[in-house]
Amino acid sequence: MVEFHVPPRVGLALGGGGVRGLGHIAVLELFERIGLRPAVLAGTSMGAIIAALYASGRDARAIRRIVQARTISRSESWRRLLRKRRALADWLRAMQPSFRGGGLLRTDRVLGILADEIRAETFEELEIPLYVVATDFWSGESYVMHEGPLLSAIQASIAVPGVFAPVERDGRLLVDGGVTNLVPYDVLQPHCDRVVAVHVGGTRGEPSKRQPTLAEAVLGAFDIAHATVLDLKRRLRPPDLLIPMGLRDIPIFDFTRIHEVLRRSAEASAVYEEDLRRWCVPPAPRSLL
């Protein structure tokens, strides 16, 4: 009698981090290159957007094209910028301040830049099960959504306090999931055999005597808090594989550095290709007689 190999159910958790989160595309490209399909996904903030695009049926190459068509790089020529007039108009509209509702910007405008490409309106319509993480503002607890309307869940997950207005859903007032669960791999552990966690932040840079700007001070404080919570969670219950992208030096709202994010993320994720390939290759059959 021969024992047959059953491939493990692999879950993929994509963490938050603004523009850094677009680096998740490189991990999805790696998964596709080695023939590894996530059985279930989880996402926080930008990770939730990328996970939703993928879960709705968009492959990694299509997501890369979508993002590149809707973002502006520092290195692009005026001719290419003119071809992106619609994307420029969408970003200008999204960045218009909204002095109401507890935030400077509106999540629906920012999310709308990519939301039209998500091929589902509800969680139930997705091809791959998805868990989206936000934070209940009043209770301070992490709140996980996996049923019902999809876009409002993602809006809640990206609602960085002070930047975006909180989102009302399920009788709760929700803000950015990164406040309580930046890389939500623990959400997947009960549902999978193995879990891959992708952290697009990374360690802090070299000490400097330079005074941070106001934005650097506020967002840097969030980074410190996120890293502290993630380190504690990893000590208590680590994922099977953590892929750190090391993009800490890229400001989370600097969308002009998209090409750098994609390049560096591809290099960082490639280091773990052999580890992931081992999960795809069955062991030599052995007799049970």
- Catalytic residue flag (residue 45): yes
Catalytic residue among 45, 56, 157, 269, which? Answer: 45
Q: Are strands 130-136 and 103-105 parallel, antiparallel or unpaired?
A: unpaired
- Catalytic residue flag (residue 176): yes
- Measured between alpha carbons, how far is 246 from 200 in angstroms, rounded to an integer? 6
Catalytic residue among 136, 176, 186, 223, which? Answer: 176
Short-list 245, 240, 234, CA closest to 270: 245
Tokens of 91: 């970003």
- Measured between alpha carbons, how far is 276 from 278 in angstroms, rounded to an integer? 5
Q: Which residues are catalytic?
A: 45, 176
